[in-house]
């Protein structure tokens, strides 16, 4: 029998807190909450990703925030940029593997499931969880899809997501004005408005979109 620690958590004290929560995952989520405000909006006709570009030092180029994954899929994230980039590479690799194996583009749900499993592995072994949440948007043979994947490996499917700094305020703005029949232009305006409301100021935003008609993810 494992010897209990003074705090009463047994030999798993480095993983679980007193309420049974994964301490390292909570810390990773806290890092995500300090990242760039990032938005996802989806209707039956398109999915849009938008992320705030934080001010940078003079003479430095801004960091890319919205990424093509495969021709039909894109992604963005909030948290530590190094972790985000690693997850983007993992998504791209999985898409390439699927094309080589099946000679067809991967469906969006399979990408989200794969990334969820990849992130979950970091919660099992004694390594630091990835401090990044990712929003994936794409068009496949079934339609338009959007998923949010958290550091725990949990993934959600939905029509509106907000992660990063002041995400609750941004999500509230989206919920107030979201419409299932809105246009891409209206979604762009709404994403900008949500990010500005979250940050309290006008911001530089990078945006990408995929439509059911074109089935190609592109940056605006």
Q: What architecture is domain 12-54+61-219?
A: 4-Layer Sandwich (3.60)
Distance CA 193, CA 202 (A): 9
The number of beta carbons lying within 10 Å of the beta carbon of residue 143 is: 13
pLDDT value, residue 209? 98
Domain boundaries, the chain: 12-54+61-219
Q: What is the pLDDT along the chain (220 residues), one digit of tens a residue?
A: 334 444 433 444 457 777 767 788 888 989 999 999 999 999 999 999 999 998 778 888 888 999 999 999 999 999 999 999 999 999 999 999 999 999 999 999 999 999 999 999 988 876 789 999 999 999 999 999 999 999 999 999 999 999 999 999 999 999 999 999 999 999 999 999 999 999 998 889 999 999 999 999 999 9
Model-wide pTM > 0.85: yes
Distance CA 117, CA 154 (A): 8
pLDDT value, residue 212? 97
pLDDT value, residue 127? 77
Distance CA 33, CA 193 (A): 19
Q: What is the CA radius of gyration of the chain?
A: 18
Strands, E assignment, 53-197:
66-70, 73-79, 132-139, 144-149, 155-157, 160-163
Distance of CA 16 to the CA centre of its chain: 25
pLDDT value, residue 14? 54
The edge-to-edge listing of strands for the beta sheet with 144-149 is 66-70, 73-79, 132-139, 144-149, 155-157
């Amino acid at each position: 029998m494992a010897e209990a620690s003074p705090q009463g958590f047994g030999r798993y004290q480095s993983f679980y807190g007193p309420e049974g929560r994964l301490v390292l995952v909570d810390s990773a989520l806290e890092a995500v909450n300090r990242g760039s405000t990032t938005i996802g909006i989806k209707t039956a006709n398109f999915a849009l990703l938008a992320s705030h570009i934080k001010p940078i030092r003079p003479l430095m180029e801004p960091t890319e925030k919205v990424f093509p994954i495969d021709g039909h899929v894109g992604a963005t994230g909030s948290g530590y940029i190094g972790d985000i980039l690693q997850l983007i590479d993992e998504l791209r690799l999985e898409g390439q593997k699927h094309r080589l194996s099946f000679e067809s583009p991967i469906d969006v749900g399979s990408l989200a499931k794969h990334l969820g499993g990849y992130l979950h592995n970091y919660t099992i072994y004694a390594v630091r969880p990835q401090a990044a949440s990712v929003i994936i948007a794409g068009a496949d043979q079934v339609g338009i899809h959007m998923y949010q994947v958290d550091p725990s490996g949990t993934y959600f499917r939905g029509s509106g997501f907000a992660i990063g700094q002041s995400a609750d305020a941004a999500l509230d703005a989206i919920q107030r004005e979201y419409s299932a029949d809105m246009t891409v232009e209206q979604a762009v305006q709404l994403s900008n408005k949500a990010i500005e409301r979250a940050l309290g100021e006008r911001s530089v935003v990078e945006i990408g979109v995929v439509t059911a008609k074109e089935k190609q993810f592109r940056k605006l």
